[in-house]
Chains A and B, each alone.
Chain A
Amino acid sequence: MKDLFRGELVRLTSEEPDFRAKIEVNWQRDSEFHRLADGDPAALNSAKKIKEWIEKNVERDFNPSRYFFSIRALDDDKLIGFLGLWLELVHSEVWVGIGIGERDYWGKGYGTDAMKLCLQYSFMELGAQRVSLGLFEYNARALKSYEKAGFKLEGRMRKEMMREGKRTDTLWMGVLRDEWLQMQNGAKP
């Protein structure tokens, strides 16, 4: 069987809470990154606080419905992002949260490669029937990346977010198991 954690540009890892927290501090200080990735008001948490959160939520006993990864670039092994999966057990739906925190790695295919690994893991290891995600209307780069990975736009929640005094929509996307399987057999997204 294939290596689920290794793609062409990135690999999925698990990091020591200490180290991971320090990197996260820097990502949080980039408010553009925060506003692309997160709907809550931007905040600046200490490494200590983030470490506690990681230990409380990520490092506990195995939970069949939650899977957290960090993303490292293969070429220089730099820790560049995160991937979180929430599996709705009864209905077999996976929700994805993904972000590339290092802006030097934006727009170069790292995110799309990570998403490919994410879909493969969701369908081939978690047995998902569908994978879903939401993104903000103003995140054009993510929209393109997700469409390339196979997600279809299923609608928009109008004016759900407000930032910089402007109301924007939240886009909702999903990819079904059959669609993804067909893509693996050569069908185009």
Chain B
Amino acid sequence: MFDIATQLFESPDIRFGPIDYEKDPEIESKWTHNAEFMRLYEFEPARPMSAAIVKKQYEKLEKKIEEDKNLYHFMIRATADDRLIGKAMIQRIDWANGNCSLRVGIGSTDDQRKGHGTQALKMLLRFTFAELNLFRVTANVAEYNEGAIALVKKLGFTEEVRRRQSLEREARRWDLLVFGLLKDEWLKQVQA
């Protein structure tokens, strides 16, 4: 399918990288103070976190990855200077059935609307299908997250389930949309 030399973690403007415990907690702490970002990225109540708490969360995450073996996490870094700009996750991997959930977030408003999310999701899909050998991916998106809906549709996802009124925010209920993409569908896109 692809050359072994093809870089899994490099894109024109962004790259996947590991957690940098020195620099990243401070940056991610800032994202958590942005209520808009938190409400797009999380279904849990938004809460601002200190760098110390973010650091603890990184430790918990790395432990979970090692113990549960059904989860991958990548920091999204700017190719130019390795600056942290977002994060990406492959979650709830069901190895027997070959499926998983994907999540991508670009943390700071200045870095959004530049195509970074698209590059990140493309790399995440390639990793999932060509390195983890999974069969299908799911993306769960809130009805009010227009950016994410546009992104997954652009990359060929199909809206499969409308979980009616599953979320509550701003004193009203919202639908949660479930999008799916199968390996064959992804291959067709990539080879086109």
Residues in chain A within 8 A of chain B (CB atoms) = 39-41, 90-93, 129-130, 132, 152, 154-162, 167, 172, 174, 176
* Docked complex Cα distance between A130 and B167 (Å): 10
Q: Which of B159, B160, B161, B168 is close to A91, meaning CB atoms less than 8 Å apart?
A: B168
* Docked complex Cα distance between A90 and B173 (Å): 12
Q: List A contacts of B165 (CB < 8 A).
A: 129-130, 176
A159 touches B135 (CB 8 A): yes
B166 touches A156 (CB 8 A): no
Q: List B contacts of A41 (CB < 8 A).
A: 96
* Docked complex Cα distance between A73 and B82 (Å): 63
Given contacts A130-B165, A154-B164, A162-B98, 8 further A-B contacts (CB under 8 A): A90-B45, A130-B166, A155-B159, A158-B180, A159-B136, A162-B97, A162-B135, A174-B166
Q: Which of A129, A158, A172 is close to B173, meaning CB atoms less than 8 Å apart?
A: A129
Q: List B contacts of A160 (CB < 8 A).
A: 97, 99, 136, 138, 180
**Given A129-B173, A161-B97, are A172 and B45 neighbors across the interface (CB < 8 Å)?**
no
* Docked complex Cα distance between A3 and B164 (Å): 30
Nearest to B175 among chain A residues (CB) is A154
* Docked complex Cα distance between A154 and B159 (Å): 11
Main secondary structure of the interface of B (DSSP, over half): strand
CB distance from B98 to the nearest CB of A (A): 7
Residue interface bits B149-170, CB-to-A below 8 A is 1, else 0 = 0000000001111111111100
* Docked complex Cα distance between A93 and B164 (Å): 11
CB distance from A173 to the nearest CB of B (A): 9
Q: List B contacts of A39 (CB < 8 A).
A: 94, 96-97
Greatest chain B CB density within 10 A among A152, A160, A167 is at A160
Q: List B contacts of A90 (CB < 8 A).
A: 43-45, 168
B161 touches A157 (CB 8 A): yes
Greatest chain B CB density within 10 A among A90, A132, A159 is at A159
List 16 interface pairs A-B (beta carbons < 8 Å), by A numbering. A39-B96, A40-B94, A90-B43, A91-B43, A92-B168, A93-B166, A132-B166, A155-B178, A157-B161, A157-B180, A158-B136, A158-B182, A160-B138, A162-B98, A162-B135, A176-B164
Q: List A contacts of B180 (CB < 8 A).
A: 157-158, 160
Q: What are the 10 closest A-B residue pairs judged by CB atoms, nearest first?
A: A155-B161, A172-B161, A155-B160, A41-B96, A161-B97, A91-B168, A91-B167, A162-B97, A154-B161, A160-B99
CB distance from B95 to the nearest CB of A (A): 9
* Docked complex Cα distance between A90 and B138 (Å): 23
* Docked complex Cα distance between A129 and B169 (Å): 13
B43 touches A154 (CB 8 A): no
A40 touches B96 (CB 8 A): yes
Within 8 A of A (CB), among B29-47: 43-45
* Docked complex Cα distance between A176 and B98 (Å): 31
Q: List B contacts of A91 (CB < 8 A).
A: 43, 166-168
